[in-house]
Amino acid sequence: MAYDHSSAPKYDEGKGSTVNDDAVQVDITNPSPNLTETDCEKHGASRESNPLPDLKRKLKSRHLQMIAIGGTIGTGLFISSGTAIAAAGPVGALIAYLFMGSIVFSVMLSLGEMATYIPIPGAFTSYATRFIDPSLGFAMGWIYWFSWAITFALELTATGLIIQFWDTSLNIAIFIAIFWVLITSLNFLPVSFYGELEFWFASIKVITVIGFMIFAICIDAGVGDKGYLGFRYWVNPGPFSAYEGVHPDSTAKFVGWYSVLIQAAFSYQGTELVGIAAGETENPRKTVPSAIRKTFFRILFFFVLTIFFIGLLVPSDNPDLLKDGNDANSSPFVIAARLAGVKVLPHIINGVLLTVVLSAANSNVYSGSRILIGLAQEGFAPRIFKKTTKKGVPYWSVMFTAAFGLLGFMNVSNQGSTVFNWLLNISSVAGLITWASLNGCHIAFMRALKSRDISRDLLPYKAMWQPWYAWYGLFFNVLITITQGFTAWITEFSVTDFFIAYLSLILFVVLYLGHKIIFRPAFVRPHEADLDTGRTALENEMWETTTPSKWYMKIYEAILG
């Protein structure tokens, strides 16, 4: 039986539901007509006999968009952005964040088409397994899960350091324990509570960033102690910074820019949380595309403008930009305020940093537990991790992911801190590997659609510039992943720096080859790809949506979605 284009799902914008034309007869007993029975057994294509986890779709559009914003705007913006200015200069850092933003946008567009067509829990793992290779799904899923789990321990440690800003006599271990219990308990509540909590956490971040921008405009115009600044620091010390130990000067500036490009990639990580939360979102075929379109540009807006304003207020050769730490003293926001003679801001920023870190820790456990569900769904983790409460909370996945937060206690001792830093480096490149895999999954997804003669025009969400934009993202994500440890060779080769930089990539390759050698799964050919599991169930669900009638609600929806 040839695949009938008219049987593809049609999205009704007015009703906010997915409907099928009653006049079309679809053979639902064989949703993948080009597959043989052997193909189904071999690749798991059309795996409706393996029910999806019973998660509840309780996240609303405003939750989804703020989860993405909150997952991205964190310590990378509030603290690490200062080192970007120091390494590349104000213009170099600005270009790096813009360029990296274009790469991340390619990932989001790739994810958007897949997540709206098949919005299921643990989607990242499932897409790689369905469209490319089960071994890729296994390796990507586990290293991505580990990155969330180990980062949870890092965020717990950061809470103690932030509170020590006010009282250095306090023991970090006390706050690791307190906030571990708090965050773990919150993740046992229904997902709607998580969404509401992240909505308000993210709102605090957004208000803080906007407040800083207004503050920066005033200081740059001459309100501060130094008078009118304008673009003074773009002239002296200059728009670009040279990487220390590299010659000639032009090469040193390029190396400085490239090092910030890698840092910008780490700062943008978390944008893909939209894809994780899609499996628990109401009416995903409407809310997910909206979140991807609106949220990404808001994130780009916040990052790029923040870097721009920091470059106006703080000279790139200011030694405070290179200070180590996780409290307000390391924040370029605070450095800018001190240079302007404003003394109260450090305490305000430190309070905001505490909410930033708690929000990140909350997202770590949520995301890690959902990725673990996806691994269990594909048979890559014990089936017990698929179990949920009546409210749809995957309690075993939450407990297992949260348990890794206890590794934060290793930072209390010097010996344990060294081991912990090595573990943390395993997770550092996981985001880039995931992005590259998502671009690759989208390319394979389009080939699968073509093999069934399904036009992309029939998809619930059709992204721009595809497939070329996916290839663009894949190329640069792979390039950055491979070259992100280049500083180990810049001056004198360091074996330690080399392994720290590439430990995560080595682990990914070991996981991939280990699974491939032991289980010997074949690569998935386009006509064998599973485009149906999870999609057919979604099409039977209906959602009611309303259009705001009040003027203030229209403004609210325009701003927050």
- Burial of residue 336, with CB atoms counted within 10 A of its CB: 0-12 exposed, 13-18 middle, 19 or more buried: buried
Per the structure block, which two tokens stand in for 205? 């971040």
Q: What is the rounded radius of gyration, in angstroms, for the C-alpha atoms of the chain?
A: 24
- Residue entry with tokens 């789990």: 149
Query: Distance (Å, rounded) from C-alpha 56 to C-alpha 392?
Result: 5
Contact by Cβ (8 Å): 15, 8: no
Residue 547: per-residue pLDDT: 53
Residue 447: per-residue pLDDT: 93
Flag residues of the chain having pLDDT under 50.
Answer: 1-49, 542-546, 556, 559-561
Residue 512: per-residue pLDDT: 95
| ω into 248 cis (within 30 of 0) | yes
* Closest-CA residue to 67 (of 283, 299, 263, 266): 299
CATH class of the structural domain 5-37+51-560: mainly alpha
Residue 53: per-residue pLDDT: 59
- Provide φ and ψ at 277, rounded to 5°: -75, -15
254-270: string of b/e by CB count within 10 Å (b at 16+)?
Answer: bbbbbbbbbbbbbbbbb
Residue 182: per-residue pLDDT: 94
Query: Distance (Å, rounded) from C-alpha 542 to C-alpha 191?
Result: 20
CA terminus-to-terminus distance, the chain: 42
pTM (2 decimals)?
0.82
- Provide φ and ψ at 473, rounded to 5°: -65, -40
Residue type, 436: A
pLDDT one-digit tens code per residue, 254-293: 888 888 887 788 788 888 887 787 777 777 777 777 777 7
Residue 554: per-residue pLDDT: 57
What pairs with residue 12 in β-bridges? Answer: 17
Residue 326: per-residue pLDDT: 58
Residue 418: per-residue pLDDT: 64
